[in-house]
Amino acid sequence: MKRIAFKMKLKTGCAEEYKHRHATIWPEIVRLLKKQGVEDYSIFLDEETNTLFACQKVEEEDSDSQTFSSKEEKEIIYKWWAYMADIMETNEDNSPISIYLEEMFHLD
């Protein structure tokens, strides 16, 4: 397993809505993440900066790129991105602007 961390930005005043949407995350998104090898996924919020910090464990062979191979998978993820776009900073395709972070230390 490999650990991956990244940060994203939440729009001001959207913390409760973000939390609500993830509390009611779509089952198809959960299935897609698990199919991609994602496990132990957490997202934290720095309320001072509206920065979301995400960390997840992924299967080593799937860790370098999370690609969505089927048309159905792409439709699901694009629909989720569109659903979240009004409360997050996004790219033109509605994907969240994500900045991957280098692991500097880990203690088991």
Active-site residue, from 3, 19, 22, 74 = 22
Is 106 among the residues known to form the active site? no
CA distances from 92 to 8, 21, 76, 81, 83 (A): 15, 21, 17, 11, 14
Residue pair 78/93 in contact by the 8 Å Cβ criterion: yes
Phi, psi for 4 (deg, rounded to 5): -125, 135
Which H helix or E strand runs over 39?
strand 38-46
Q: Would you please indicate which residues are annotated as catalytic (active-site) residues?
A: 22
